[in-house]
């Protein structure tokens, strides 16, 4: 985790939790526990959370049927009996 924080200083604890969950499937701790641990690691090793300013702007209005909006999210779906896959 320390390597991830050093390589990606803007990474969130939620992203780290997702990566660990993908690698180990089930974790013996909660996301809030990991958030506290990440906060301690950042303080101890002086790795401030780098924030990037997101640029938003209005887009040109397109004709009907030529534009859509996509909201990204995740869901866990059954893969096999007792297994799930994150979509």
**Residue 76 dihedral angles phi and psi, to the nearest 5°:** -100, 125
Q: Please state the domain extents for the chain.
A: 1-51
Q: Residue holding tokens 């641990």?
A: 37
Quote the mean pLDDT of the chain. 86
**pLDDT, tens digit only, all 87 positions of the chain:** 888 888 888 888 999 999 999 889 888 988 999 999 999 999 999 998 877 777 878 878 888 888 887 888 888 888 877 788 888
Q: What is the pLDDT of residue 46?
A: 92
Distance CA 82, CA 26 (A): 12
CA distances from 34 to 37, 43, 79, 86 (A): 5, 14, 27, 20
| Stated pTM of the model | 0.56
Residue count of the chain, please give it.
87
CA angle (12, 86, 5) in 5-degree steps: 20
């Amino acid at each position: 985790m320390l390597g991830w924080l050093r390589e990606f200083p803007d990474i969130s604890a939620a992203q780290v939790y997702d990566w660990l969950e993908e690698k180990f499937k089930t974790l013996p701790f909660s996301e809030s526990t990991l958030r506290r641990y990440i906060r301690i690691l950042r303080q101890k090793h002086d790795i401030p959370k780098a924030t990037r300013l997101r640029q938003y702007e209005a887009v040109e209005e397109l004709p009907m049927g030529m534009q859509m909006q996509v909201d990204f999210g995740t869901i866990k779906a059954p893969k096999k009996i007792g297994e799930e896959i994150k979509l």
